[in-house]
Structure 1
Amino acid sequence: MAFLSQPRALQIPELLLRIFQFSEPEDNCTNARVCKNWSNEALAVLWRSVMFDVVLELLGPTTRRAIGDLIFVRCPEPADWSRFNHYAWRIHHLEVSWDSYHPSIFQHIASIRSRTELFPNLETLDFDDDLGNVHLFTHAKLKSLVLQSSVNAGDCPHTKTALLHLPLQTRHLETLNLGYLLIPKEVSHSDLASVLQGLPALKTLWLPGDWLVSQIADALAWHPVLECLVSTIIHRAHATTWDVFSTSLDPHSFPSLKQLDIAVPFARAALLLSQTHRPRHLVSFTLKCYWGEESVHSYARFIDVICSNYPELESLSVQGNDAEQYPAALQRMTFLELRPITRLSGLTQLELTHPLQLDLDLRHITEIAKALPSIEVLYLNDSPRISSVPNLTMSALVTLVSLCPKLDVLGMYVNACTTMPRISDDATLANLSIFSVGRSPITDPRSVAHFLESILPKACLLYSHTEDRVHSRLWDLVKRMIHQSEES
C-alpha cells in the first residue's frame, strides 16, 4: 500500500537512484527499509563504494587485536556467506588497507571462495596490502587497479608473482596505478614491460619515477589506446636516476597519448620532447623536477622546446620548487625566459613553481593575460622558498578582470604591503573560486580585506601558506574580516 500511494515519479528506479546519490548514508539506510523498489536503489548507492572492513562484518563478528589487526571471532558459516552474497554483487569500488587484517582472514576467504569471484561487479580496486592476496579480488571485469604498499614490497614475498599474473586476471584493465608501489628488486624492467604489454586496453598508467626507463617506455609506445602516463617521485634518491623515458622512439610511437606527467631534469625533458618521433598529440604536460646543478638556461630551453613543438597544449605544469641542495646555483626566472608561453593561446591551465620568486611585474602579467584568453587555472609561483619583496602588487588582479574572464583558480606572489588600487563597482573576477597568495608579504590586513571583498566573489576562498608567523597571522585576519563581512 505504501508503494501504491507514492507519486509515480518515485517509482521509477533510475530517478530514485539519482535522488539517493545526493542523500546522506543515514538517510539511505532509512530509504532501504521503505519498500523493495526503494531498497534496491538505496542499497545500490550505499554499497557501491566501501571499505573492506565493512564487508567483513557481513561474514561474521570481527575483533581488533591489541596490535591493531582485524580477526574473525569465529569462522564464517554458510549463513554468513549467504548474507555476504546479497550485498557483494552491488560493490563496484573496494578499498583494502594495509595492516588492518590478520592473515587468517584471507585464508578463510581463500579456502571457501578461491575458485569464484568475491565481487562479481567490482570495477575499481584500491589495494594496500600483501600483494599475495590481491588475486582474491581481481577478475576480468576490473577496470581500475591501484596497488601500493605502506611497507617495502620486498617484504611481501608474492609481489613478483602477483604482478606477473595481472595480464591473466585483469586483461581488460584500463587504469593501473603503481606510482606508490615500492617494486622489489626481484622484478626486472623486462618483467614489468612484459606485464604492461599484456594489458592492451590500458588507457591510464602511473609508475614510480625510476621505473619509466627506456625499456618500459619503448614497450608502452606501442599501446594503441594509452592516453595518460604519469611517473611519481617516492624518494629523493630517485632524483639521481635520470635515465628515464626514451630519447630514441620509433615512428608512430604513443599514437593516443594526450597527457604526460614525468619526473626528469629540464635538459632531459627538452631532449625527449624535441626528438623526431616524440608523442604528437599531447594536450597536457607536467614536469616534476628536483633542482640540481641546473641553470636558468636549461629551464628556458625546456620552455622554448615545449612551446615550439606543442602549440595546441591546453595544460602546462612545471613543478620545481626544491632549493635545499644547490641554492647558490639558482637564478631567478625572468619574463624573457617565460615569454614563449605566450604562444600557447589555447592554454586553460598554467602552473609554474620555482625556488626563487619569478621576476615579473604588471606589464608581464598583462602580456601573459592577453596571450591566454581562455586561462582558467593560473599559478605563478605563489610560494617561492627563497624570496624578497615582489614586484607584483594587487593591481595585477584588476588587470586580470577584463583579460581573463574564465579565471577560476589564481595563485600569485604579490606585495600586499602597498596601497590598494581603486576599482569600479562592477570590476570583479566573477568566476574565481580560489585565490592563493602563498607566502605574499602583508602589513595592513584591513585595507587588503576591503580591496579583496570588492574584487572577489563572495564564494571565493582565500589561501595563504607561509612560515612567517607575522604574515600568517595577518592573512588569517584578512580571511576573518572577509568572512565577517559576508555574514553581515
Structure 2
Amino acid sequence: MSPGLANDLQLQAASDHGGALVVTPGPFYSPVQIPELVEEVFSHLCNQDLLSPARVCKTWSDSALNRLWRNLLSPFPLLSLIGPIQFQNGNDMDFIHDIHGADWSRYAFSAHRIRSIYLTWHTHVSVRALKRFNECIPLHLTTSLVASIATYSHTPSPLPRHVVPFISQSVKELVLRFSYSAQPSLDSTVVQSMLAAVGAAAALPNSSLEELELGLPSHTTDTYICVAIAKCLEKHRSTIAKLALNFPIDYQVWSSICNLPRLRELAVSPFHLSELGIYARITPMIQELVRAQPLLERFHISLLASGLEPPEGPDLYRNIIRQLLGLHSLRSIAVYATAPLLLSENDIREMGVSWPHIQAVRLQPRIFWSGAPFQLAETNLSTLASFLRHFPCLKELDLSLRCHSLPPAEQPVLTPVLRVLDVGGSPVPRADIEQVAAYLASVLPPTTHVKSGGFMAGPEVRSVWRQIVQRSSVIQKERSQNPTMALQT
C-alpha cells in the first residue's frame, strides 16, 4: 500500500476529553482508486482489454500503461515514439527522418515503464536505426529501467545488437540465444553481435546482472567471446545467481564461474575440448567447481568428446557424477556425456544419500553423437526402482533404459512423488513389450506421466515406447480396480 494512502487511512487522535479518546477517521477511498488493487486487477487483462481503462483516470491510466509497456516483443513501438519508422527498400525498419533534435517527451513518458524486452528473429528494426537511437538519445534518458532482456534467433543475425541501447545499470537478466546453424561462414556475424551485447554488459559501472544465458552454435570456437564473458562475469561477480553458457568455453571462463559467490544455478554445454582436453583433465575441474560452489542448487553439464569411443572411454559415473556428490544442496542435476553409464544399486544409493533434496535427475549419455554403439548408453531397467527407493523427493527422472531382460517383479514404492519419467532416449526393448509394460506398472505410481518422444529417437522407437506407456497405464487401472491381480511376468 502506498505511504500516502496508509497515512490517510490511519485514525487521527484529536484530543483527550475527560478520559474519552476522540478519533476522527480520514477521508474515504474507493477500492477502484487504490493503485495496488488496480494493478492486481489489470494483471489479469490482455493488452487489448487494457486500452479502455487507460483512458479512464490517472490512477487507472498509469496502471494500464504500466502493464501495456511492461514487456516489449520488439523495440519498434518504443522507437516509433521518437519519429516515423517504416520498412526501407523492403528490408528492416528505419527512421524516415533524421531524429537529431526530435521531441523525446513521448519516449520519456513510456520508456520508464518497460521492464523486459524479448526479441525474436521476427524483429525487423535495423541496426542502423538502433545506432541512430543510441547516438541521439538525451543523456537524462539513457538510464532506462529495463530489468530483463532476451533474444532468440533461428538464424545468424545481428539481433543481440538491438539490445545494446537498452542495457542499463538496472539490467538483471540478459538472455542471448541462437539456435544451431549449419553455416559456419556466418559465425562471425553471430559472434560480433554477441560480443557487442556482452561487452555492453561488462562495461556497466555497477554490478546488477543476476541471470546470464548465452547460446551460440556448438561449432563456434571464437576465443574473443570467452574473453568478453570472463570480463562480464568479473564485473557482475557479486550479483550473478544463474548462469547458462550453451557453447564451447575455455578454462578462463571456468575459473570465473568458480569465483561467483552467489551462484546457485549453472548450465554449461559443451566444453571446448581443444582447451580442456580429455576427461582426465575435466575431472579435476569438476572437483574444483564442487569445492568453490558447494551451494549450487541446479547443475546441468554436457561433455561431448567425439574422440572418446567406448569401451575405451571412461565410466560416466566414476569420472563425472561421483565428483558431484559434494553438492549436497542440489535440487536438479543433468549430465550429458559421451561415455557409458553403468549404475549399480550402490551407486544410486550413494547419490540418494549425497543429494537428499534432489527433485530432478537427467542422466542421458550421448554416445550416439560420437558414432559409438547406442546400446552402451543405457542403464538397466532395474535402476528405475532403485531411484524411487533412494530419492524420496524425486519428481522428474530422465533415463535411457535397456530392456533386454526383465528384473524380478517389484512392489510399488510406498512414498514416491515421481511426476515425470522420460524414457525418450531408450532403444526398442528386446524383452516382450507386454512384460516391460507390466514391470513399469508394478514400479511407478499411478500419477507418474511417462514421456517417450525423445527427439533423437526414430519413429519406430517412439511407436514401440508409446505402446508400452499406453499398455502400462491400462494395467495400472486394472490393478486399481482389482488389487489382488497377479503380476504378469
Q: Do Structure 1 and Structure 2 share a fold, with TM-score over 0.5?
A: yes
* Residues 86-235 of structure 1 mapped to structure 2, 5 A cutoff: 86-96=109-119, 100-106=124-130, 108-110=132-134, 112-117=136-141, 120-126=144-150, 129=158, 136-146=165-175, 152=187, 169-175=204-210, 177=212, 179-180=214-215, 201-203=238-240, 212-214=250-252, 227=263
Give the Cα–Cα distance (whole angstroms) in 2 for the partners of residues 24 and 448 of structure 1: 47
* 411, 415, 421: which one aligns with 2:398: 411
Aligned to 2:94, what secondary structure does the other structure show?
Answer: strand
Check if 1:462 corresponds to 2:451.
Answer: yes
Q: Which moved more, 1:136-145 or 1:361-370?
A: 361-370
* Residues 388-403 of structure 1 mapped to structure 2, 5 A cutoff: 388=375, 392-393=380-381, 395-403=382-390
* 372, 378, 381: which one aligns with 2:361: 378
Check if 1:50 corresponds to 2:72.
Answer: yes
Structure 1 residue 91: deviation in Å? 0.2
* Residues 405-484 of structure 1 mapped to structure 2, 5 A cutoff: 405-416=392-403, 418=405, 427=414, 429-442=416-429, 448=436, 452=440, 455-458=444-447, 460=449, 462-465=451-454, 466-478=456-468
* TM-score normalised per structure 1: 0.64
Give CA deviations for 1:453-480 in whole Å, capped at 9, x if unaligned: 6724546352442434322211234456
Q: Which amino acid aligns with 1:392?
A: N
Give CA deviations for 1:295-314 in whole Å, capped at 9, x if unaligned: xxxxxxxxxxxxxxxxxx75
Aligned to 1:379, what secondary structure does the other structure show?
Answer: strand
Give the Cα–Cα distance (whole angstroms) in 1 for the partners of residues 400 and 207 of structure 2: 46
Assess, with a 3 A threshold, how the Cα gap between structure 1 residues 172 and 439 changes in structure 2: closer, same or farther: same
Contact 1:357/1:384, CA 8 A, preserved across alignment: yes
* 41, 47, 57: which one aligns with 2:63: 41
Give CA deviations for 1:202-257 in whole Å, capped at 9, x if unaligned: 5356779776555x77788887x5637968568x9x42123xxxxxxxxxxxxxxx
Q: Which amino acid aligns with 1:441?
A: V
Give the Cα–Cα distance (whole angstroms) in 1 for the partners of residues 336 and 226 of structure 2: 34
Contact 2:380/2:401, CA 8 A, preserved across alignment: yes
Structure 1 residue 387: deviation in Å? 3.3
State the number of aligned residues: 424
| Counterpart for residue 351 of structure 1 | 334
Structure 1 residue 90: deviation in Å? 0.6
| Counterpart for residue 107 of structure 2 | 84
Assess, with a 3 A threshold, how the Cα gap between structure 1 residues 20 and 399 changes in structure 2: closer, same or farther: farther
Assess, with a 3 A threshold, how the Cα gap between structure 1 residues 43 and 456 changes in structure 2: closer, same or farther: farther
Give the Cα–Cα distance (whole angstroms) in 1 for the partners of residues 190 and 337 of structure 2: 37
Structure 1 residue 126: deviation in Å? 3.9
Structure 1 residue 113: deviation in Å? 1.8
Assess, with a 3 A threshold, how the Cα gap between structure 1 residues 203 and 316 changes in structure 2: closer, same or farther: closer
Give CA deviations for 1:350-386 in whole Å, capped at 9, x if unaligned: 4343435422355654564466443322223366523
Give the Cα–Cα distance (whole angstroms) in 2 for the partners of residues 452 and 31 of structure 1: 54
Give the Cα–Cα distance (whole angstroms) in 1 for the partners of residues 226 and 379 of structure 2: 51
| Counterpart for residue 9 of structure 2 | none
Structure 1 residue 335: deviation in Å? 6.6
Q: Which amino acid aligns with 1:142?
A: V
* Residues 56-75 of structure 1 mapped to structure 2, 5 A cutoff: 56-59=79-82, 62-64=85-87, 68-72=91-95
Q: Which moved more, 1:42-51 or 1:349-358?
A: 349-358
* 280, 283, 286: which one aligns with 1:267: 280
Structure 1 residue 95: deviation in Å? 3.7
Give the Cα–Cα distance (whole angstroms) in 2 for the partners of residues 19 and 105 of structure 1: 37
Check if 1:327 corresponds to 2:309.
Answer: yes
Give the Cα–Cα distance (whole angstroms) in 2 for the partners of residues 65 and 481 of structure 1: 58
Assess, with a 3 A threshold, how the Cα gap between structure 1 residues 414 and 23 changes in structure 2: closer, same or farther: farther
Aligned to 1:86, what secondary structure does the other structure show?
Answer: helix
Assess, with a 3 A threshold, how the Cα gap between structure 1 residues 33 and 456 changes in structure 2: closer, same or farther: farther
Q: Which moved more, 1:225-234 or 1:437-446?
A: 225-234
Assess, with a 3 A threshold, how the Cα gap between structure 1 residues 207 and 78 changes in structure 2: closer, same or farther: same
Assess, with a 3 A threshold, how the Cα gap between structure 1 residues 185 and 470 changes in structure 2: closer, same or farther: closer
Give the Cα–Cα distance (whole angstroms) in 1 for the partners of residues 424 and 195 of structure 2: 46
Check if 1:14 corresponds to 2:50.
Answer: no
Contact 1:173/1:202, CA 8 A, preserved across alignment: yes
* 264, 268, 273: which one aligns with 1:239: 273
Aligned to 2:401, what secondary structure does the other structure show?
Answer: coil
Q: Which amino acid aligns with 2:294?
A: V
Q: Unpaired segments of 5 or more residues in structure 1?
A: 1-6, 243-263, 285-312
| Counterpart for residue 24 of structure 2 | none
Please provide the CA RMSD for this pair: 5.2
Structure 1 residue 406: deviation in Å? 0.7
Contact 2:364/2:400, CA 8 A, preserved across alignment: yes
Aligned to 2:281, what secondary structure does the other structure show?
Answer: helix
Give the Cα–Cα distance (whole angstroms) in 2 for the partners of residues 93 and 410 of structure 1: 33
Give the Cα–Cα distance (whole angstroms) in 1 for the partners of residues 127 and 87 of structure 2: 13
Q: Unpaired segments of 5 or more residues in structure 2?
A: 1-28, 152-156, 180-185, 479-489
Assess, with a 3 A threshold, how the Cα gap between structure 1 residues 77 and 231 changes in structure 2: closer, same or farther: same
Structure 1 residue 435: deviation in Å? 3.2
Contact 2:177/2:213, CA 8 A, preserved across alignment: yes
Q: Which amino acid aligns with 2:309?
A: P
Give the Cα–Cα distance (whole angstroms) in 2 for the partners of residues 222 and 343 of structure 1: 17
Give the Cα–Cα distance (whole angstroms) in 2 for the partners of residues 340 and 111 of structure 1: 51
Contact 2:237/2:259, CA 8 A, preserved across alignment: no
